[in-house]
Structure formats: structure tokens, C-alpha cells
Amino acid sequence: MISAVNRNKLGTEISVNGYTLNTDVPVQMGGDGKFPNPFEMFLSSFLACTATSVFFYLRKHGISPEGIKLNLDPDMEGDHIKSAVITVLLPASFPAESEAPLLAFAKHCKVGSHLNFPYEVKLTR
């Protein structure tokens, strides 16, 4: 079960499986601006899911995650996401023969499978 309670104006404390997450809204919207807003948390969970898939693949195949970074770039239309691109930045030393399998694995994000907008995962050095 996931639960939520109010904290400090429009701040929300989320409890999930014994962990605590906090969200807030910016000061100009009446919040304290102390934590990411719920939309930022949504995008973060999408990126975290993809990153977890990437890091799981690396661990399974004995490849170091050092120097690997993921970025999420949503294409917004007003307040809605039109599409998104997740870029996996690879170091020059990353084994070329592992690129295609890593990319395939990165696309197995469970959060991504629930989204109603198109997204792409790409690799770059």
C-alpha cells in the first residue's frame, strides 16, 4: 500500500513499503518549494526505472557502471508530454558489442510500458 499525508502547506509525505518520499510545489503556487513537485517525481520514476534496467544489465554482464549517466528530455506541449527521449551516455571505453543488448534491455522499463506518450531510448558516447 502507498499512503500520503499533508506536510507543511502543500507538501506531501508519501509512504511506500517503509520508505518515505516527499513532494512539494513551488512557492509561487503556495508551497514551500522544498522538494520535487509531483510531476517531477513522475518523470524521475520513469528515468529511475530505465536506469535500473541499464544498471541491472551492466551488473549481470560484469560491466562497470562508472561513467554512465542517463538523461530524460521530455517534449512538452503546454502541461502535457508530447514525447520523450532518454539518452544513455556511455564512456568511450564501453564495449561496442554490448551496446545493442544494453539498449534492448533499457527499453524494458515497467513504468515506460504504462505511459501514453511515445518515447525513445538512445545511446550516445
Beta carbons within 8 Å of 55's beta carbon, 6+ residues apart? 65, 68
pLDDT the model gives residue 91: 97
pLDDT band at 125 (very low <50, low <70, confident <90, very high): very high
Per-residue b or e along 48-68, where b marks 16 or more CB atoms closer than 10 Å to that residue's CB: ebbbebbeebbeeeebeeeeb
The percent of residues in the chain predicted with pLDDT above 70, rounded, is 100
pLDDT the model gives residue 74: 98
Mean of the pLDDT values across residues 17-43?
96
Residue corresponding to grid cell 564495449: 95
Q: What is the pLDDT of residues 48-101, one digit of tens each?
A: 999 999 999 999 999 999 999 999 999 999 999 999 999 999 999 999 999 999
pLDDT the model gives residue 11: 97
Pick the CATH number of 38-124 from 3.30.70.60, 3.40.640.10, 3.30.300.20, 1.20.120.1200: 3.30.300.20
pLDDT band at 12 (very low <50, low <70, confident <90, very high): very high
pLDDT band at 109 (very low <50, low <70, confident <90, very high): very high
pLDDT the model gives residue 83: 98
What residue spans define the domains of the chain?
1-35, 38-124
What's the gap between Cα 45 and its chain centre?
Answer: 4
Read off the C-alpha cell for 66: 562508472
Mean pLDDT value across the chain: 97
